[in-house]
Structure 1
């Protein structure tokens, strides 16, 4: 039975690994510290939205055996709209993932530093963080091997490690389970919580995951009969990912002080309350979250760029490798030197704010095209859910853009 289950694990855990990065951990930490269990419902909503959109993405990949970027490029007939769509997608995903890669690697470094302390080496005028280089090197080796099964197995192992680490940390805080359930299913809006709610949903419903999932399922499955495995894989993995995020919120809610700014502070804050073990569990989780996102972000960008530009998206092709190499090397250098690319990240946030409803809209449009999916196109129920989520993403997109420009 276990062997059967392992055999049918697909890209779902990779999608979960992609959305639970250091940014998500930090956002969940701040939500727990500032609002306790009150915003757990935002994660429940995020999980439902992610399952609906990711299921569409995986169905598209299996039926068409093409990525989402390839399909959008092929289905849009107007040269102007096609050019605009390709520009938006490339800007948000490739530039955005380049900007965020340093944060992914830095998140993994924080986990290691919580246990081993800071380790640097001086080379001329520069001081390099050894852990940044090691994490980047590990990601480079896995991606360069270019074997989907190897990448999948490593990431599944890291997701399991991350899940156990955060679950155990949450249990150590001895939460009130009735209050946790209430927070997860009864929406409340504490004062000044709107941007945190937007952040929690925005870090879970991720545009690049829709491209990544459609591209990865065709590496794993090639037959229409595999749709049932893909659905189960998506549902289980996304729920697991949501529970991991909730565990971080629950853990951080136990901290009495407001002087917590990131997950590294959370690790230090938990130690006097629950002993050194909680620090080690949290450190392992943060390391796993950082390295999984450091692998999936360049991978997603390479799939998107190749799909948009009409290049082959084979894992071992030169163009495919050159894209993820550039993003990974940029992340390693930025993280090891401590560079904060604020303006690039701001641009990425704006682009992602615009892109999420655009991609969700394109996805729903494509999923209703009989010429693309035949009898496997969206049902009425799937369309209603999809359009409701689209409305939420439009709202979030506008809010995230306004937030970046500090309108509110």
Structure 2
């Protein structure tokens, strides 16, 4: 059997949740709490694997994306329209807002290698670097296909992973201190950081992206083993990258940091220029990969909800990609700070994640959808625990924004 059977959309899932936001959140966690919160990342890896596997299994059995399946099986008036409206609001609004952060994060990494001037038009300032990053993402999306994009992103994710992992290894962290970080520890000081770490890994739009791409890659029931291999390996590697960033920030003994770019610069005094460039390349790669996957996932949700084609060359997909990526590009290139937009996106995503988890658990237990591949009792127990975690995460994210 060809090894290509084992490689599917998993790298895109990893690319989607290892964005500049994740890099920054992990950096801040490492600086403020050392290795103390590594257990939270381990928990988030398990939750992500379980939810992504369920979403992927739905995609395989139905040969449709999650948005289309939800739209098809929830047909009662108010519930149907509420569900579709909530999904569209959270995914499209959220992805457009976070796309600005993806583009800006990629630009921060690139600027540690070379600078591009900003253009000033009176009170208006346009970042050429942000515009360049956004344009690269748009060009790849509009001119490529799923296979081409997956191939490029797989290579970039591998290089990004190596950049972060090598930097962490070079710092030679204390083994016993590292292991102690996997002992759960929750208190009033670290609870919001725990919520942030889990929230950057268990990403709602990834569930939609994964289910749709699985339906395009595999179509036989026997392919489940390939899907599970692809999912587990990709998510675990992504989780290890997140842990490497926490370890790097903790081991670097940097006193304060506001962004991952500060961490890259701070490492220069500890390990020389090479470490700084490893981190800078990792940040650049994280920005570019997320800048590609966020609008792609958002477009799939839009098209899935309305029953339109999710082929990347279709008019509906192209238009949706342009709108989502274009909004992110405008926010980042023109210096608009989408703080309020991101805040509302966090609220809607906080509501969406437990709701979406409940939808997935409901669907994977329907014989009319899953045939003989419904959840086992053990999977339902694990899924129920994860649902409670996502509910807690959702409540905390809403509380955090409204506080």
Q: Smaller-chain TM-score range?
A: over 0.9
Partner SS, residue 316 of structure 1: coil
Partner SS, residue 117 of structure 1: coil
**RMSD over equivalenced CA pairs, Å:** 1.4
The answer to whether the 8 A contact 1:37-1:253 is kept is yes
Q: Which sits farther off after the overlay, 117-126 or 261-270?
A: 117-126
Q: 2:48 aligns with which of 47, 50, 67?
A: 50
Looking at structure 1, the residues matched to 346 and 139 of structure 2 have their Cα atoms a distance apart, in angstroms, of: 29
Note the alpha carbon deviations across 1:300-330, whole angstroms, 9 max, x for none.
0001111112222121111111111011111
Change in 2 beyond 3 A, CA 1:335/1:295 = same
| Structure 1 segment 234-249 matched on structure 2, within 5 A | 234-249=231-246
The answer to whether the 8 A contact 2:125-2:335 is kept is no
The answer to whether the 8 A contact 1:38-1:190 is kept is no
Partner SS, residue 116 of structure 1: coil
Partner of 1:169: 167
| Structure 1 segment 188-207 matched on structure 2, within 5 A | 188-189=185-186, 192-207=189-204
Note the alpha carbon deviations across 1:140-164, whole angstroms, 9 max, x for none.
1111124111010011011001100
Looking at structure 1, the residues matched to 18 and 143 of structure 2 have their Cα atoms a distance apart, in angstroms, of: 24
Question: Deviation at 1:236?
Answer: 0.2
The answer to whether the 8 A contact 2:171-2:252 is kept is no
Looking at structure 2, the residues matched to 263 and 230 of structure 1 have their Cα atoms a distance apart, in angstroms, of: 32
Question: Deviation at 1:220?
Answer: 1.1
Unaligned runs of 5+ in 1: none
Partner of 1:299: 296
Question: Deviation at 1:134?
Answer: 1.6
Partner of 2:127: 129
Looking at structure 2, the residues matched to 16 and 288 of structure 1 have their Cα atoms a distance apart, in angstroms, of: 12
The answer to whether the 8 A contact 2:18-2:290 is kept is yes
Question: Deviation at 1:15?
Answer: 0.3
Q: 2:146 aligns with which of 145, 148, 161?
A: 148
Question: Deviation at 1:296?
Answer: 0.4
Partner of 1:393: 390
Partner of 1:210: 207
Q: Which sits farther off after the overlay, 249-258 or 99-108?
A: 249-258
- Structure 1-normalised TM-score? 0.96
Partner of 2:22: 24
Partner of 1:360: 357
Unaligned runs of 5+ in 2: none
Partner SS, residue 121 of structure 1: strand
Looking at structure 2, the residues matched to 253 and 376 of structure 1 have their Cα atoms a distance apart, in angstroms, of: 43
Looking at structure 1, the residues matched to 301 and 326 of structure 2 have their Cα atoms a distance apart, in angstroms, of: 18
Question: Deviation at 1:343?
Answer: 1.1
Residue correspondences, number = 403
Question: Deviation at 1:8?
Answer: 2.5
Question: Deviation at 1:241?
Answer: 0.2
Question: Deviation at 1:63?
Answer: 1.1
Q: 2:68 aligns with which of 67, 70, 81?
A: 70
Note the alpha carbon deviations across 1:223-245, whole angstroms, 9 max, x for none.
11111100000000000000000
Question: Deviation at 1:255?
Answer: 3.2
Partner SS, residue 119 of structure 2: strand
- Structure 2-normalised TM-score? 0.97
Partner of 1:103: 101
| Structure 1 segment 235-274 matched on structure 2, within 5 A | 235-274=232-271
Looking at structure 1, the residues matched to 188 and 279 of structure 2 have their Cα atoms a distance apart, in angstroms, of: 29
2:222 is equivalent to residue 220 of structure 1: no
Partner SS, residue 166 of structure 1: helix
Question: Deviation at 1:180?
Answer: 1.4
Looking at structure 2, the residues matched to 246 and 264 of structure 1 have their Cα atoms a distance apart, in angstroms, of: 17
Q: 1:323 aligns with which of 320, 325, 333?
A: 320
Change in 2 beyond 3 A, CA 1:124/1:220 = farther
Partner SS, residue 126 of structure 2: strand
Question: Deviation at 1:178?
Answer: 2.4
Looking at structure 2, the residues matched to 360 and 258 of structure 1 have their Cα atoms a distance apart, in angstroms, of: 38
2:339 is equivalent to residue 342 of structure 1: yes
Looking at structure 2, the residues matched to 190 and 170 of structure 1 have their Cα atoms a distance apart, in angstroms, of: 27
2:230 is equivalent to residue 233 of structure 1: yes
The answer to whether the 8 A contact 2:366-2:374 is kept is yes
